[in-house]
Chain A
Amino acid sequence: MLIPIEAAILQCAVDLQRRGEPEFHGFFIAKELRDRDEARRLTAHGTLYKALDRLEKAGFVQSRWEDPEAAASEGRPRRRLYQVTGLGERVAAESRRASPAPLPKPRLEPA
């Protein structure tokens, strides 16, 4: 049984995959979730990485550590790259059917 943040991550990951970005790192998915939900804040560290950990243990995503040389060449720490699995795709589809995406929040535009 997925909790809302896990379902959101999984659906976001599937959308990313369809857009040709099969791999994502923690901060990237946090940004995607913020932009998608038009939220003001990024998902908290603990909430995000606990959810990713649970998704990986359930077999819905898999992860690998990026090549250290690739990270070093860009002068940044190594990223842990996640990818949604076939099982994760099926679960995301079921989750989407069970609870369709909410309508976007109305924006108050100045007159």
Chain B
Amino acid sequence: MSGIELASTVTRSWVRLYTRRLDADIRGARIAEIESDLWEHRRETEEAGVEPSDAGLQVLARCLAGMPADLAWRSGTAAGARASRRREPMNDVIRRSWWLGPAVLVGLFDVMLFVGQLTDFFGLIEEEPRVGTRLVASAAWLLFAVCIAVGIALRNRRPQRAGLLVIVGSLPAVLLFWMVVPPFLGVAAIVGAIHHMTTAPSPTQVPA
């Protein structure tokens, strides 16, 4: 084995050592880049007629002199990857649970209509003959709000049932299309609930 071959082998071993346990893409890129550098260096020294032993010393010197920077790079890269992993669970939570926001708002809207109907009921009881209608409407809005609340509460244990409850509770808000915001929130809650039903792990997969 010539001097440059030996130095190249030492350099390759060093690169494989300091890139161990890094992300496969980052590791592969660094190994490939050093491999290209070694090849170019070898070709340059061959074309210049440099003795293989001298060329080997050049490669070895480049490898040894760069070791502190290699370790610093590894440390920074590994820290970046750790920070990225720490951010991932939060991203997952947001991706999985974004629909809770619109669902809660639609639930509050249902409660508001329930109270509104009830208030009108008490305010107009002397003049308004349709007492039963208002009472039924009021009870219906309360039922829709309860559906959403129960759906949210069951989202992890019974994702399918929870999704259906949220859809049932949000659908009436969608029908009030002239109010713009509640229907928009209702659609968002329904889309989120469907997504939850199709992507949530089954109850056996959820840790107790």
Contact = CB atoms under 8 A, between A and B. Distances in A.
A106 B122 CA distance: 101
B73 A49 contact: yes
B11 A45 contact: yes
Interface stretch (A14-22, A24-32, A84-92, A96-104): A24-32
B32 A77 contact: yes
A29 to B, nearest CB: 10
A106 to B, nearest CB: 25
Contacts of B41: 27, 42
B149 interface: no
B62 A49 contact: no
B34 A45 contact: yes
Tell me whether chain B's interface is mostly helix, strand or loop, or mixed.
helix
A47 to B, nearest CB: 5
B70 A41 contact: no
Contacts of B69: 44, 46-47, 50
A76 B36 contact: yes
Given A27-B40, A77-B36, A78-B36, A42 B29 contact: no
A38 interface: no
Interface residues of A, number: 23
B5 interface: no
A36 interface: no
Contacts of B67: 46
B36 A27 contact: yes
A58 B66 CA distance: 21
B82 to A, nearest CB: 16
A41 B61 contact: yes
Which of A45, A47, A80 has most chain B Cβ within 10 Å? A45
B68 A46 contact: yes
A94 interface: no
Contacts of A45: 11, 34, 37, 62-63, 66, 70
Nearest to B26: A53
B65 interface: yes
B48 to A, nearest CB: 11
Given A49-B33, A50-B72, A44 B39 contact: no
Interface of B: 11, 29-30, 32-37, 39-41, 43-44, 58, 61-73
Given A43-B62, A46-B66, A76-B39, 19 more contacts: A25-B40, A26-B33, A27-B44, A41-B62, A42-B41, A42-B58, A44-B61, A45-B34, A46-B65, A46-B67, A46-B69, A47-B65, A49-B33, A50-B66, A50-B72, A76-B36, A77-B32, A77-B39, A78-B32
